[in-house]
Amino acid sequence: MPGFMEGVAREQTVLFPDRLEDWIHEDHLVRMVDLFVDELDLTELGFVRSAAARTGRPGYNVKRMVALIGVQGLMAAVNA
């Protein structure tokens, strides 16, 4: 999403494994959460600030934050 801070591209070479994708198995739960969150319409779900502001420092990508919280909740077996 334009206007948000973006992390390193997943295909970019890093120090230890060649790619971040090499750390995560193809059928790992985090991949399912990532695909699920990418399909969400956050404005429809009530996330008012899901669109980037035109002024100030760029915020974190809202979809990535939702995915991070989702993965953390699933890994910790937290029920909503």
pTM value? 0.54
Domain boundaries, the chain: 20-75
Letter for the amino acid at 8?
A: V
HEC readout, 66-79: HHHHHHHHHHCCCC
Q: Say how far apart CA 23 and CA 58 lie, in whole Å.
A: 28
pLDDT in tens, the chain (80 residues): 567 777 766 776 656 666 777 788 888 888 888 888 888 888 888 877 666 677 777 777 888 888 888 777 777 776 65
